[in-house]
Amino acid sequence: MTSGEAPPQGAVTTSEQPDAAESVATAAAVLPAAPAPPAPPAPPAAPTQPALLAQSLSRMANNAGRAIKRALTGEPKAKPTRVAFSPIIVNLMTNLALTKSLSVGASGAGPDLILEQPILYLGSALHGLNPLVLVQLGITHIVNVSGAANAFEDGVPAAVAKYKLEETVNDSQRKTLQQWMEIDPNVRWKYWSANIADTSSEDMSVHFKPCFKFIDDAFKEPNARVLVHCQAGVSRSATLVMGYLMHSCKWPLDRTWKHVVERRKIVVPNLGFANQLVEYHNKLFPNEPLGAQDFRSLYGF
């Protein structure tokens, strides 16, 4: 087209032509929006205290129902199935398989720090029977109410020999056992232990005074660090830790309970132990007695 000629009818002049950016924007406006990526699945919610209590009550009801049935029918109580190894061997062998997942700092795997000064941990038998965890945390004293033996009173090599672990381990556990054997054989842990059943009828309060004295005496030593554990770190050891905080920190039960549950989410003392903690609170704080409603509120009711 020469200058001065009129553009053909319907043609777009240069001044009317959209630039590249405008064209892209126009095209994008008419395209359907890309679907949003699916949201990641929400992590499973941790069981609440009422849920854990409901599970505990359900187990208790089932056990009571079976006991009543045996009483009415004369049916003998079934003998427990015998296992090849004692409970302490099972725990030790489990540790040999799970040491990596129990390493300190793994989410939810290690024992939980309840007090920073002095240092007090609450955990399970998998922590109390794992010398690598004990060494890494610098544990010096152990309160053991798991029902298992005090494995490392005489050091790790002595425990390995006593329980014949070198003869029992498989190939995948042998490397971890070698790490155990590399721990200084002179390292010892001081123990206080009691065989306490996790039942509502068990009198936990009779153990408060000797247990708390052991922990108090431990904290008089320089660099002392205490681990309190039962089998799961849920009921028995949690009750002792709560009682100890009431004794040493002079905290009322509601504050103590909240603090321990915040530090170790799975804690839920059985009903009998909780009632004994209420009685201990009323003994320590006679001017601030707790009643039935306070008792229920501990479990979130």
In the predicted model, residues of the chain with pLDDT beneath 50 are 1-3, 7-34, 79-85, 99-108
The crossing angle, in degrees rounded to 10, of helices 236-248 and 271-284 is 10
- What does the alpha-carbon distance between residue 202 and residue 206 come to, in Å, rounded to a whole number? 10
Where do the domains of the chain lie, and which CATH numbers do they carry?
84-298 (3.90.190.10)
Give me the catalytic one of 230, 241, 267, 274.
Answer: 230
Q: What is the C-alpha R_g of the chain? A: 31
- Per residue in 239-262, pLDDT tens? 999 999 999 999 999 999 999 999
| The pLDDT value given to residue 14 | 40
The set of residues, in sequence order, having a beta carbon less than 8 Å from that of 111 and lying 6+ positions away, is 121, 122, 123, 124, 127, 133, 137, 227, 229, 233
- What does the alpha-carbon distance between residue 120 and residue 260 come to, in Å, rounded to a whole number? 11
User: Which of 262, 270, 227 minimizes the C-alpha distance to 110?
Assistant: 227
230 catalytic? Reply is: yes
| The pLDDT value given to residue 205 | 96
